[in-house]
Structure 1
């Protein structure tokens, strides 16, 4: 996956939903145009927006050029939708502008539901540069929802989408500025400019001052993962299949699998490599697996399970 060309299995191009006339002009600020902007979701939070079909171009497609948009298709008739809504709203507040949550009532906007192919609700998708990244369908708990959001943010970083959403008007003071963690501005700006080496240096600078900064560690691991998977040889999987003891080949496949959202496949491959190797090769596979744990997050259930398996293999 390259930064210049967003691609992921299952991605759906939403460009057909752009309005050539009567909506916001291409390149206009999100929400521009008479009657185009969506409304803050009642009780939703500073980064939650109720979106209509008329506002879809401005509030979802145009915004997704700058930052990730998580779209929640829901219905007031659906109990599962009502259970999921506060979970996603809370995550949008916690992530403080790293993504915007756009809520679409399928009863009020059947055309959008049909365009995306919504069959049951809740359905949650991500949108990056006008393309869909399928996330999940049906009710999930907070840990699972967090996993999917983290995966979307990793894909966004891989494609140079590192902007932050502005707080939705009327969700707080109209002129309020988003709270920005100044420590990460340099790294995030570098990612947005496609300067991965600069982003790595910025995160390393933070960690030199505060070695225990978990968010900086995760950010550094994500950017390093993106850099490692920028130029992958066409036969990388064949090489890994031919030689199970080729640690570098196994690591590369694991990296690509993680970038594609196949988290457990990546973990299982490296645990098997640790099990089947010895000495420096074994340690290299183990250390790399720990780095991938940083990317996914220590609290992720898949990381917890993989750590347990790794301990069994090592001891």
Structure 2
């Protein structure tokens, strides 16, 4: 999460003060997200950008649904990202999925005009919402978007993300991400490219079994590469910390390099990345 006085992390402990009481002074926009949610990563920087631009006209609260399931249940969240606008203790507007920046700006601007009707879901909204519970349908929705607009970066990145949710689809995902280097979806495209890069390491069950006997620092880094390729990012980071404990010099090179790639996948400023960054730094300096 970006460091900002206009962006706060929501918990059950601060919900009453920040949302219920705080919404009587200014609108509160709540972003329900999770570290594993690709659309959430695409939406988050746009919301944070607007919060900083508006400089106090509204407060953005980010709630991790994995850590705060009670709050998600309170708002009857069924798919993420889910965004709710609260004013005077009441929800006045909401949407689920991604919105283009122009529509997101309108959503925020409407908080000051009293408009309360939710925006009509766009094809992108519908596809992003499907990702949370029906990836096959989400893939078809993105393909339908590409049939009419082959260069649409949102659809290209969305379909690539759906494809990469299962192993073996990397060859189909690579061309979709080609050329998405600028704009709102470039960060997510780069994250997906990093996932593809990490999966280049052989990581079959036999590879993992053979690597489990790792005892040297180098062998632990090799095991971390396999775990990262399999999507076990927490396990990979734990092995990297163990390797840094064994060899501080390796910790400053191969360990750090792989850790940064994992951070790029889980979110460079996510709470988990911040935690492991501090733990690695404590071992190296």
Category of TM-score, reference length = shorter chain: 0.3 to 0.5
Q: Normalized per residue, which structure has more helix?
A: 2
